[in-house]
Structure 1
Amino acid sequence: MADTCGQVLLGSGLTVLSHPLMYIKVLVQVGHEPLPPSLGRNLFGRQVYQLPGLFAYAKHIIKIDGKVGLFNGLAPRLCAGTIGTLVHSSVLQRCQDAGKYEVSRTSQKAEEGSLQHVVNETTKEMIARSCATIVTHPFHVITLRCMVQFIGRETKYSGVFDSIVTVYKNEGVLGFFAGLIPRLLGDILSLWICNMLAHLVNTYAIDDSMSHTGEIKNCAQAGTGFFASMLTYPFVLVSNLMAVNDCGLAGGLPPYASIYPTWVDCWRHLSLEGNMSRGNSLFFRKLPVGKTYAIDQKRFF
């Protein structure tokens, strides 16, 4: 119990610190570009037009809403983090207990570090994460909609409880789970890719006789996690767009977004436009040639 409380407190602190970053990322994912591009240089020294980065975007938000404005949507996100940690811990513990019972019944235990052990542990983690994601997704939807209100200056989603009532009145129960499927798929794929790649690296690329083996394995785990998150980023983007799609906010309607019947349609549309990585980077944001942006409707070449 003490470990769970510690995880909740640590997670809450990290959530508060990282919230402005997520806020800006969501606005970029939706396609909100309120600032004109500027002429800069890329890594090779060539002059290119670049879209405003993290700090310029943050200054724009502060100018309009003050520093407090960087924390729009924080309350429902904290709720999601706290509930998610509790659910994840509880489900994972049950899976671990079930695994111990199965081992005692069959007297067969997978050797630690073996492929079977990695598969067993990843399966347990997948179940725990999926349960936490499903339970907390309504708060995730509210968080995103509170953020996207910045675009049209709406106040439709003003608090956790009021937002719950608003979603239920307008969309029913299904509204709380908008964008859930691509989010689940992305989480599951990311977890399996990360753990399988880490197992391959630890087994075939790292020798246990090497010095600092533990640190190297931790770095390998972090590296494979980053690689997996890059591969599955389109699922995150599509999930967030579907969560605000046609919800009555300016950020979920044309010209920012088309009205997507399903998340597959959203995926296809982004793919055709070449926007599958939109919002993946908040620095060095190169201006795509010929793109039209929703705020000023100008084309930059």
Structure 2
Amino acid sequence: MADAASQVLLGSGLTILSQPLMYVKVLIQVGYEPLPPTVGRNIFGRQVCQLPGLFCYAQHIASIDGKRGLFTGLTPRLCSGVLGTVVHGKVLQHYQEYDKGEELGTGNGQKEVSSCFDRVIKETTREMIARSAATLITHPFHVITLRSMVQFIGRESKYCPNCSQLRTVNKRSFIVSSRRGLVPRLLGDIISLWLCNSLAYLVNTYALDSGVSTMNEMKSYSQAVTGFFASMLTYPFVLVSNLMAVNNCGLAGGSPPYSPIYTSWIDCWSMLQKEGNMSRGNSLFFRKVPFGKTYCCDLRMLI
């Protein structure tokens, strides 16, 4: 019980600290560029036309809504994090209690590599089920979080937690649209999890020698490294999920001219792939303006 409470507190603290970063990231993902590009230099020293980075973007938001405005969408995101942590922990606890009797009778005569591989498959499958259950339950809060942020574009207040209008949204259209973006989000989480654990197993088993004293510490870092690599590969699923969550929801940021109307997440994926925008929002610092790309920003067309 104390462990679950500590996880909730830690997760809530990280959520609060990372909220401005996520806010900027979501606005960039939907294609909102309120600031003109500037001339800068890349890591090789060459002059390039750059879009504003994280700090300039955050400063622009703060200049309009104040520093408190950087934490828009924090309340539903905290609710999502707390509920997701509880559901995730309950599912794993159920499996642990179920396995207590079986673990006592498990023999150690199997091959080490085979038993380790079987354990990776078993733990990954259970982690997948736990994460999927948490995602299914918390996705409506995730949708509210994203739409609360995108309201900045059209200066709406439809999804403000302090407004009585939110009840109307829940009773009407939101019940139907609260599952938008769920499929690509689930697929991204599942693929990322299996990639991360599979790569970590291969690295720990075949690339690192357990006989070296420092290898145990190296193995503890391999999970984080492979997790970062897996998240980069599955980023398009995150982008498509977020775009579908706000698409055609009655907000300016989810409607033309800022965003086309997508018929499905596959349509969204195909259109982004054709435009070469599958990594939009992945970088928050060195944001080069793509050649020939135009941005519609506050009645300005930036090239």
Report the TM-score when normalising by structure 1.
0.94
**Other-structure match for 1:38:** 38
% identical equivalent positions: 64
Aligned equivalents of 1:126, 1:85: Cα separation in 2: 14
1:84–1:135 Cα contact (<8 Å) kept: yes
Secondary structure of the residue that 1:181 maps to in structure 2? helix
Q: Partner residue of 1:96?
A: 96
Quote the offset at 1:160 in angstroms: 7.1
SS of the residue 1:33 aligns to: coil
Comparing 164-173 with 146-155, greater Cα deviation is found at 164-173
| 1:184 match | 186
- What is the match of residue 173 of structure 2? 171
Q: 1:227 aligns with which of 221, 225, 229?
A: 229
How far apart in 1 are the matches of 2:45 and 2:133? 48
Cα 1:72–1:233 change in 2 (3 A) is same
The letter of the residue matching 1:93 is: Q
Stretch moving more, 182-191 or 153-162: 153-162
Equivalences, count:
299
Amino acid paired to 2:239 = L
Specify the alignment match of 1:248 in structure 2: 250
Aligned to 2:258, the other structure's residue is in SS state: coil
Q: Distance in 2 between matches of 1:166 and 1:107?
A: 55
SS in 1 for 2:18: helix
TM superposition shift of 1:107: 4.2
- Alignment counterpart, residue 140 of structure 1, candidates 136, 142, 149: 142
Distance 2:66 2:58 in 1: 10
> What is the RMSD computed on CA atoms of the aligned residues?
1.8
For residue 191 of structure 2, give the secondary structure of its aligned residue in structure 1. helix
Query: What's the CA shift for 1:3?
Result: 0.2
Secondary structure of 2:187's aligned partner? helix
Residues 1:72 and 2:72 aligned together: yes
User: Which residue of the partner structure matches residue 15 of structure 1?
Assistant: 15
Change (3 A) 1:247 1:170: farther
CA contact (8 A) 2:39 2:48 kept: yes
C-alpha separation in 2, matches of 1:191 and 1:20: 26
**Runs of at least 4 residues off by over 3 Å:** 99-104, 106-113, 160-164
Structure 1 residues 235 and 162 mapped into 2: Cα distance closer, same or farther (>3 Å)?
A: farther
Q: Which residue of structure 2 aligns with residue 270 of structure 1?
A: 272
2:202 match:
200
Deviations 1:78-127 (A, max 9, x none): 000000000000001112223344556x7467869711110000011001
The answer for the alignment partner of 2:49 in structure 1 is 49
Q: CA 1:85–1:266 in 2, change beyond 3 Å: closer, same or farther?
A: same
Q: CA-to-partner distance for each residue in 1:203-241, whole Å, 9 max, x for gaps?
A: 001001112222201221111000000000000000000
Counterpart CA distance in 1 for 2:30 and 2:19 is 17
Cross-structure match for 1:298:
301
Structure 2: give runs of 5+ residues left out of the alignment: none
Alpha carbons 2:87, 2:130 under 8 Å: kept: yes
Query: What's the counterpart of residue 6 of structure 1?
Result: 6
Q: Which amino acid aligns with 1:59?
A: Q
Aligned partner of 1:55: which letter? Answer: F
Q: Secondary structure at the match of 2:178?
A: helix
**1:131 to partner: Cα distance:** 0.4
Structure 1 letter corresponding to 2:301: K
**Alpha-carbon separation, structure 2, partners of 1:60 and 1:108:** 62
